[in-house]
C-alpha cells in the first residue's frame, strides 16, 4: 500500500482553540475525506508528555490516537526528544550546546541539546521508554519516527566540555596511541606534536588554519555522536515495539551527519521534501534517489510541502498542481509513504507562515484539494505499485568523508557546496540547466553547481535514464556504470570495491580530485589518484583552480553526438599524464596547458573500463560521455526526453514497469509513443503521443519492459 497522510499536532489545537479537543474529530473527518490513511504525531511533545520530571501525562495523546483510530487512521508515533522541556533545560543548563566560539546556546527552541551530555541522554532514554511502553500494543500505532531532522539548525557539532572529553576518547579508540595519531595527522607540520591526549583541543576558531586531519576527525566524531544517540533510541524501540517499523526523517542532502551510518539500523529511511529557493526538479529527484540509496530500498517522504514555507529566502506561494506534481515525483522515485507537513497552519510559534493542507483559519487550501484528488487516484494506483521499486543500471557514489574534506579545503571557494551565486548562474561551462530550455519555471540555473557530484546525475535525469545515489561501500556489482564525481578521500576498502567492479566488467567514471587523499585526509606520496591510479592508467601532473572570470574548453578526440568538437569547462582543471595503452578522450584548448589530456580512458581484461574526468563541465560534459558509453551497456532512456519533462519508473520482479510522466514546465508537452498507452490515473488513452498539460502527471503501466 501507499501510506498517505499528514503531520498533526493535536496538542497545539487544544491550546489555541476554544473548541479544544472537539476540533480533533472534525480534523479526522476531513483527513479521511481527503483520502488520508496515516497521521504522524508527537515529535515535539516532550513538554506535554512530561510536564515535570518523572510526571508523565499520556491522557491527551491517548485520546488523540483514539479519535484518529476511530476514523480508520493509522499513527506513526515519534520520539519527542528534539525539543527538551523547559524544566529540563532550567535544571540542567549544561545540556545546552556550546558553539565554536564558546557561547552556550539558549533554550526555548528545538535541537538545543548536546547528545554527549549524560543528563540529556538519560532523560531521552526515559521518555523514549515511557512512550514506547505506552503504545507498543496500541492497535492504531504502526511505527515510529525517531527524533526529528538530526543536525537541523547547525546543531550537528557541539564544543562543550563533554564533547571535548568525548572527542579525545574517540580519537584514542580510532588511532590507538598518540604516536599513531601524530603520524596519521602529520602533526610534525607547524610542530603540533601531541604528547598527552588532554592537549588535543576541539577545532574552535584559531589564528590560522587548523590541521585538515584534525578537522575531518572532528566531523566524523560529531556524526558518530548522533549516530550513537540515534542507535540508543532504535534499540529501545526494537526491544519494546518489535512489531513496529522504525524510521527517521533526513534532510535534503544534509552534509553534517553521515546518513549511511545514521540510518543503518532503520527499517527504511524517510526525508523532508521542501521546495526551497534554489531547488529544481532535478535536484529534488536527486534527493529522492539518494534517500532510496542510503539503504537501497524504498522510503517515505515524512514531510511533503503542502503550501508556502517560512524558512527559505523568498517563500513564494506554490501554484496549482504543485502538490500533486511533487507527490507523484516522490512516489515515482520509490516513496511508499507521503506525509504532508502540516495538517493546519500554526497560530503560534515560529512557523506561523508555514502553510498546510488547511490554512490558519481552518480553510481548505489548494494542497488539500490536490491531496484529495491524489487520495482518490491512489485507490487505482496503489495495487499496481505493490512489489515495485526503482531500478537503475547507473550509480553515483556520494561519500561523506569526501564531502567534508572538500568543504574543509575546497581550494576554490565555489566548491564549498554553498548556495549559488551570480557566477554560477551565468557561467555557460557550469550551468546546471539546459541552454536550449526557454521555460524558466523548469530550470532557473540555481542548481547549486557547487555540489559537483550532481553533474552526472543531472545529465542522466535530463535524458530520462534512472540513477541511484549510493555509498562507495555498496555492492557495485548490481550496476553497469558507476560514477565517482568527487571521491576525494579514498579508503582502502573503497579502492578494493572499485577495483572489483572494474575487474567484473563494469565501467567506472571518476571525476576531478579523485583519490587525492587517504582516509586521514593526507595526500598520498604517489601521484593522484593514488590507490586507484592503476585503474585509470593516468595520473594528475598539475591542477589548476580557475577563478570565475577564467574558462577553458575541451576538444573531444572521439566522435560525439550532443555537443560538437568543443565544450566549455570551468572552476577546476587537471593536467593528466596517461601511461602507454591509455587513450586520451579530450584535451584542453586554452592556457599554457592547451593540448594536454583532460579526460582519459582505459580498457581492462574482462571488459571493464575506467574513465578519468579531470575537469568540471556540468551535466553537458557527462551527456557527451554517456552518449558514448551507455549504449555499450544497453542502457537507454525510459522514453525520449523533452526539456522539463521527467520520466521515472518503478519496476516489479517480473519486469512490469509503472512509468511516471511529470511535466515540470508551464507549457503543454507532447511525448511521442511507440505503442498506445492508457493513463492509469484518468483512464485516458493515447495512440501516437501523450499530452501533458503544465504541471500535469500521467502514469502508465507497461506489462513487459520495452526493449530498445
SS3 2: coil
Active-site residue, selected from the candidate residues 11, 50, 112, 149: 149
Residue 618 neighbours by CB distance under 10 Å: 28
- Residues facing 613 on adjacent strands: 599
Spatial strand order of the sheet with 141-145 comes to 245-247, 141-145, 74-78, 38-41, 3-7, 335-341, 299-305, 270-273, 249-250
Q: Specify whether 632 is catalytic.
A: no
The C-alpha cell that represents 20 in the structure block: 479544544
Q: What are the residue ranges of helices labelled H in 322-392?
A: 322-332, 366-385
Cβ proximity of 236 and 125 under 8 Å: yes
Q: Which residues contact 19 (CB under 8 A, 6 or more apart)?
A: none
Active-site residue, selected from the candidate residues 43, 162, 303, 553: 303
Q: Specify whether 149 is catalytic.
A: yes
SS3 600: strand
Cis peptide before 529 (omega within 30 of 0): yes
> What whole-number distance in Å separates Cα of residue 184 and Cα of residue 199?
16
687 burial via Cβ count (<10 Å: 0-12, 13-18, 19+): exposed
Per the listing, cell 508555514 goes with 354
> What whole-number distance in Å separates Cα of residue 546 and Cα of residue 549?
8
Going by the DSSP 8-state scheme, the letter that residue 691 receives in this structure is E
Cβ proximity of 702 and 659 under 8 Å: yes
Cβ proximity of 483 and 625 under 8 Å: no
Residues forming the active site: 149, 303
Amino acid at each position: 500500500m501507499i501510506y498517505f497522510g499528514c503531520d498533526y499536532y493535536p496538542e497545539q489545537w487544544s491550546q489555541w482553540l476554544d473548541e479544544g479537543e472537539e476540533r480533533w474529530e472534525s480534523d479526522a473527518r476531513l483527513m479521511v475525506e481527503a483520502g488520508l490513511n496515516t497521521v504522524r504525531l508527537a515529535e515535539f511533545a516532550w513538554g506535554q508528555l512530561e510536564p515535570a520530571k518523572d510526571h508523565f501525562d499520556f491522557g491527551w495523546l491517548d485520546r488523540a490516537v483514539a479519535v484518529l483510530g476511530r476514523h480508520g487512521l493509522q499513527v506513526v508515533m515519534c520520539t519527542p526528544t528534539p525539543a527538551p522541556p523547559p524544566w529540563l533545560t532550567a535544571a540542567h543548563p549544561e545540556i545546552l550546546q556550546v558553539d565554536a566560539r564558546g557561547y552556550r546556546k539558549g533554550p526555548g527552541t528545538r535541537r538545543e541539546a548536546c547528545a554527549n551530555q549524560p543528563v540529556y541522554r538519560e532523560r531521552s532514554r526515559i521518555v523514549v521508554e515511557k512512550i514506547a511502553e505506552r503504545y507498543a500494543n496500541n492497535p492504531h500505532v504502526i511505527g515510529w519516527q525517531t527524533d526529528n531532522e538530526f543536525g537541523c539548525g547547525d546543531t550537528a557539532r557541539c564544543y562543550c566540555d563533554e564533547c571535548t572529553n568525548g572527542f579525545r576518547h574517540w580519537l584514542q579508540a580510532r588511532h590507538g596511541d598518540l604516536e599513531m595519531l601524530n603520524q596519521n595527522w602529520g602533526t610534525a607540520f607547524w610542530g603540533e606534536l601531541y604528547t598527552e591526549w588532554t592537549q588535543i583541543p576541539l577545532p574552535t576558531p584559531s589564528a590560522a588554519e587548523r590541521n585538515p586531519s584534525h578537522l575531518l576527525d572532528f566531523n566524523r566524531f560529531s556524526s558518530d555522536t548522533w549516530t550513537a544517540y540515534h542507535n540508543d533510541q532504535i534499540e529501545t524501540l526494537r526491544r519494546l515495539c518489535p512489531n513496529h517499523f522504525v524510521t527517521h526523517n533526513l534532510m535534503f542532502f544534509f552534509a553534517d551527519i553521515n546518513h549511511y551510518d545514521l540510518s543503518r539500523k532503520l527499517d527504511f529511511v524517510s526525508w523532508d521534501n521542501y521546495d526551497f529557493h534554489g531547488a529544481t526538479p532535478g535536484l529534488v529527484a536527486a534527493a529522492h534517489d539518494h534517500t532510496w540509496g542510503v539503504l537501497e530500498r524504498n522510503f517515505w517522504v515524512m514531510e511533503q510541502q503542502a503550501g508556502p514555507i517560512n524558512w527559505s529566502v523568498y517563500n513564494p506561494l506554490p501554484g496549482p498542481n504543485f502538490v500533486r506534481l511533487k507527490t507523484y515525483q516522490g512516489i515515482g522515485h520509490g516513496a511508499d509513504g507521503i506525509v504532508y507537513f502540516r495538517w493546519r497552519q500554526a497560530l503560534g510559534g515560529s512557523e506561523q507562515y508555514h502553510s498546510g493542507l488547511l490554512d490558519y483559519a481552518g480553510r481548505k487550501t489548494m494542497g488539500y484539494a490536490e491531496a484529495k484528488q491524489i487520495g482518490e487516484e491512489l485507490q487505482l494506483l496503489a495495487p499496481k505499485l505493490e512489489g515495485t521499486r526503482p531500478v537503475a543500471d547507473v550509480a553515483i557514489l556520494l561519500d561523506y568523508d569526501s564531502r567534508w574534506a572538500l568543504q574543509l579545503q575546497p581550494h576554490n571557494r565555489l566548491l564549498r557546496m554553498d548556495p549559488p551565486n551570480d557566477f554560477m548562474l551565468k557561467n555557460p561551462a557550469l550551468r546546471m540547466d539546459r541552454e536550449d530550455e526557454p521555460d524558466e519555471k523548469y530550470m532557473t540555473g540555481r542548481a547549486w553547481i557547487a555540489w559537483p557530484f550532481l553533474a552526472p546525475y543531472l545529465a542522466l535525469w535530463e535524458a530520462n535514464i534512472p540513477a541511484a545515489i549510493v555509498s562507495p561501500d555498496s555492492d557495485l556489482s548490481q550496476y553497469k556504470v558507476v560514477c565517482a564525481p568527487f571521491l576525494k578521500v579514498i579508503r582502502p576498502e573503497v579502492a578494493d570495491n572499485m577495483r572489483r567492479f572494474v575487474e567484473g566488467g563494469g565501467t567506472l567514471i571518476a571525476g576531478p580530485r579523485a583519490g587525492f587523499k587517504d582516509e586521514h585526509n593526507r595526500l598520498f606520496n604517489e601521484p593522484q589518484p593514488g590507490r586507484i591510479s592503476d585503474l585509470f592508467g593516468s595520473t594528475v601532473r598539475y591542477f589548476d583552480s580557475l577563478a570565475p572570470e577564467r574558462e577553458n574548453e575541451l576538444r573531444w578526440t572521439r566522435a560525439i553526438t550532443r555537443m560538437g568538437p568543443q565544450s566549455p569547462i570551468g572552476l577546476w582543471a587537471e593536467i593528466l599524464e596517461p601511461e602507454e595503452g591509455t587513450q586520451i578522450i579530450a584535451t584542453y584548448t586554452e592556457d599554457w596547458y592547451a593540448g594536454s589530456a583532460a579526460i582519459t580512458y582505459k580498457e581492462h581484461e574482462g571488459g571493464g573500463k575506467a574513465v578519468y574526468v579531470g575537469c568540471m563541465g556540468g551535466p553537458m560534459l557527462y551527456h557527451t560521455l554517456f552518449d558514448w558509453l551507455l549504449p555499450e551497456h544497453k542502457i537507454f532512456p525510459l522514453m525520449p526526453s523533452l526539456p522539463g519533462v521527467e520520466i521515472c519508473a518503478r519496476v516489479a520482479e517480473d519486469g512490469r514497469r509503472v512509468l511516471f510522466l511529470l511535466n515540470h514546465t508551464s507549457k503543454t508537452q507532447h511525448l511521442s509513443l511507440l505503442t498506445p498507452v492508457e493513463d492509469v490515473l484518468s483512464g485516458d488513452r493515447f495512440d501516437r503521443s501523450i499530452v501533458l498539460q503544465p504541471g500535469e502527471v500521467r502514469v502508465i503501466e507497461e506489462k513487459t519492459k520495452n526493449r530498445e
